[in-house]
Amino acid sequence: MTHKIDEYVNQQHEVYKKIALDIHAKPEVSNYEFFASETLASQLKAEGFEVKIDVAGHRTGFDARYVSNKPGPVIAFLAEYDALVGIGHACGHNLFGATSSLAGAALKQIVDEVGGEIRVYGTPGEEGGENGSAKGSFVREGFFDDVDAALCVHPGHLHGGTTSGLANDPVDVEFFGRASHASGNPQHGINALDAIIQVFNSVNALREHLTDDVRIHGIVTHGGDAPNVVPEYASARFYLRAKSRTTLNDVYQKFENIVKGAALATGCTHKFGLFQNSVDNIILTPSFDAIYEAKLGTYGEVFTPRKVTGGQGSSDVGNVSQVVPTIQPYININNTPMAGHSIEFREASKSELGLDSIALGAKVLAHTALELLTNPELLEAIKKEHRENVVLQGE
DSSP tag of 279: B
Give the mean pLDDT of 270-298.
Answer: 97
Is pLDDT at 60 greater than 90 in this prediction? yes
Residue 206 pLDDT = 98
Pair type for strands 74-79 and 117-122: parallel
The distance from CA 105 to its chain's CA centroid, rounded to whole angstroms, is: 22
Closest CA to 276 of 30, 28, 27: 30
Read off the pLDDT of residues 166-212 as tens digits, 9 standing for 90 and up: 999 999 999 999 999 999 999 999 999 999 999 999 999 999 999 99
Q: What Cα–Cα distance (Å) separates residue 167 from each residue in 204, 207, 318, 357?
A: 20, 17, 8, 29
Number of C-beta neighbours around residue 295 at 10 A? 20
Contacts for 260 with CB less than 8 Å, ≥ 6 apart: 270
The C-alpha R_g of the chain, in whole angstroms, comes to 23
Q: What torsion do the CA atoms of 183, 186, 189, 191 make, to the nearest 10 degrees?
A: 70
Contact assessment for residue 112 and residue 136, using Cβ atoms and an 8 Å cutoff: no
In Å, the largest CA–CA distance within the chain is: 82
- Using 50, 70 and 90 to split pLDDT, how confident is the model at 395? low
DSSP tag of 207: G
User: Given strand 326-327, what is the order of strands in its sheet?
Assistant: 50-55, 58-67, 117-122, 74-79, 149-151, 326-327
Residue 308 pLDDT = 55
Q: What are the backbone dihedrals phi and psi of residue 88, each rounded to the nearest 5 degrees, phi first?
A: 80, -140
Task: Output the DSSP codes for 110-159.
Answer: HHHHH--EEEEEE---TT-STT--HHHHHHHTTTTTT-SEEE--EEESS-
Pair type for strands 154-156 and 330-332: parallel
Alpha helices in the chain (DSSP H): 2-25, 34-46, 93-114, 134-140, 192-206, 245-266, 286-297, 317-321, 343-348, 352-374, 376-393
Is pLDDT at 43 greater than 60 in this prediction? yes
d(CA 214, CA 243): 7
Is pLDDT at 288 greater than 60 in this prediction? yes
The distance from CA 392 to its chain's CA centroid, rounded to whole angstroms, is: 22
Read off the pLDDT of residues 67-113 as tens digits, 9 standing for 90 and up: 999 999 999 999 999 999 999 999 999 999 999 999 999 999 999 99
- Using 50, 70 and 90 to split pLDDT, how confident is the model at 393? confident
Is pLDDT at 221 greater than 90 in this prediction? yes
